[in-house]
Amino acid sequence: MGIDETISQISRNRLDVSVQVVGDVLSILAALLLTGVVLDLADPVKGQLLDQAAVWFLLLGCFVLSVLSVSEVDVRKYGLPTGLSVVVSTFVVYSQSGTSVPFWHYWLLCTLFVGSAIAICGYIQTDSTNSIKRDQVEGSDVEYDDLRPHVSSTLPRSLIIAACGVVVLRFAVFLTPLATLQSELLSLSPLLGVGLIIYAGLQYLEWENDRLIAWLVTATVVIWIVAAFISRPEFRLFGTDALLFSRYSADLVLSGKNPFAHSMSSAYSQYPIDLRFVTYRIDGTIVTSLSYPSMSFLPFLPQVALGIQNINHTSLLILLITIGFLVRDTSGVMKIASVSIFLATQEFVMFSSGGVFDIIYVPFLLVGMKLWSEKFYSIAAFVVGIGFSVKQVPWLIGPYLAIWLYHVSNSNSEFANRASRTVWFGLLGFLLPNIPFIIWSPEEWLSSVLTPVAGGSPLTMQGIGLVSLSTSGYYILPREYFLGLFVLSLVLSLFIYFRHFKSIRWAAWIFPMVIYFFHYRSFLSYFIYFPILAYYAVILRYQLTKPIMEYRSAQFAKKIVGEIK
């Protein structure tokens, strides 16, 4: 296809691409919104069997929406039934459990709007489903940015902006009462969501300034987080034993000691923590060893060294950096979506301010995804390896990426060479922050990193996944049963991914969220960060982000690092 024909094709397909990408992004917004009430429903004190079933149903909806958004399934095929399903299921769950809770009213309205928007995207009729591929412009003198299929159709633009406005409005209503720096300006912050809704209507007057609006929303989020959390003078409790261990490990490192070789038991007496949030073994004892690789505490060293007591600030800072990265890296109206996606559920902010530091591995995975999409597989593996050094949760991404490499290789020998190089770079990224501690005490390091399986009494069953059937006392099943389901679901998903790679290749980055549903330890934090990866997968899939470098420069760089295109 010549370059003139290519440009003509892009012009014809622009509406189609915008409808598809907006439908996919709306699906991810809906997926995150569905998780917004999960913790209320999963409360073991007040939870009933119907509430547990509602949790599973909402999680299933989150899984399905996330996978659909990164698949090759046309939004015109799944949009209408999926959108209507979101609307109906949301109303059913609300009627069952949330009619008396004011916070749920906003959740209902927001989710109903986004579900309806998905249905509208499914109803819009367009002519073609083909999108331009980057390799079609190889050898031409036309800049790739000129060919990129921007989201430009008025109706899809208005839908995504209005959905973002509703999400921002709900988040502002939720967060503003938590602020410790109360002011008249802050109390007016919900008007930002109203402003976005008005901006959505202005699209029909052809008034567009997506960059300014996106950075305005981002700046407001910074103000919210500072006012609600970072400005708090007091620090009462560590929200999780994971953060407690991170703080104590940082103390040990700064005093010249190896945290992997020391018991964490002293941390319980040195720092305040609610014993409901510690990790128990089935024999009644608690975990007293560092349970994660070194990147679980190294990012906190600067703050501890500065004497700032509340180390949740580091997690909040990384959350803001991640938002800034996505806003900076995306184009057009997706800049607004890039910040709104983090506001679709309050848990991103609440977790980062309450002891859950999973956000630390997210930017590494996002950068790795970008490099992977540009076919810098080895460098991507190195960056992802660093992310794997934060927690064990994202490790399951690895097998799917191996299948990806197999399918994009032209021969078995090419796959073997590419896979071996990628694995070595990934191991290098993982081991780099851990090497000093491995050399220091190799056995203690390995035992700590593999705490769930490294001897001693097994960890207790706990979570919001299928295991809640047992932990809630409705139907007691042994731990081995859930382990078997976990392994079976992993093997089955790998088989499905291998067979249907062309249709779901980007699902490699999010399949673990489905697998953890069957594990005997399945916390909400194991699920909600993967839709962020799904969102970026949509952005990369439709090439709505700038390439790492100019095309020919990328080709030259690949030769330098020995990559095979």
Task: Report helix, strand and coil shares of the chain as percent, to nearest 5.
Answer: 70, 0, 30
* Cβ 330 vs Cβ 545: under 8 Å: yes
Contact 264, 245 (CB under 8 A): yes
Torsion of CA 293, 299, 300, 301, to 10 degrees: 100
CA angle 191, 192, 194 (to 5 degrees): 60
Q: What pLDDT was estimated at residue 563?
A: 43
Strand partners, 281: 459
Average of per-residue pLDDT across 236-247: 86
Instruction: Give me the pLDDT at residue 3, please.
Output: 52
pLDDT tens-digit profile of 108-156?
A: 999 999 999 999 998 886 544 444 444 443 444 444 344 344 444 688 8
**Could you tell me the pLDDT band of residue 564, with boundaries at 50, 70 and 90?**
very low
Q: What average pLDDT score do residues 59-64 get?
A: 94
The model's pTM: 0.89
Distance, first Cα to last Cα, the chain: 21
Report the distance separating Cα 492 and Cα 399, nearest Å.
Answer: 12
Cβ burial, residue 428 (10 Å; 0-12/13-18/19+): middle
Q: Are 322 and 367 in contact (CB under 8 A)?
A: no
> Among 16-25, 228-237, 472-481, which is the least confidently predicted range?
228-237
Instruction: Please tell me the distance from the alpha carbon of residue 42 to that of residue 556, in angstroms, as a whole number.
Output: 52
Angstrom distance (rounded) from CA 554 to CA 565: 10
Going by their DSSP bridges, the two strands 521-522 and 462-463 should be labelled as parallel
Query: How far, CA to CA in Å, does 74 sit from each of 110, 262, 324, 436?
Result: 24, 54, 30, 49
Residue whose pair of structure tokens reads 């979506």 in the numeric block: 337
Among 93, 110, 14, smallest CA distance to 53 is for 93
Q: Count other C-beta atoms under 10 Å from residue 563's C-beta.
A: 19
The rounded percent of the chain whose pLDDT value lies above 90 is 53
Give the distance, in angstroms, between the CA of residue 284 and the centroid of all CA atoms in the same chain.
33
3-state secondary structure of 138: coil
Using DSSP's 3-state secondary structure scheme, residue 330 falls into strand
pLDDT tens-digit map of 428-457:
999 999 999 999 988 889 888 887 666 567
Distances, alpha carbon 462 to alpha carbons 42, 227, 277, 398, in Å: 11, 33, 11, 25
Q: Encode pLDDT of 8-59 as tens digits.
A: 444 444 555 588 899 999 999 999 999 988 887 876 555 566 778 888 999 9
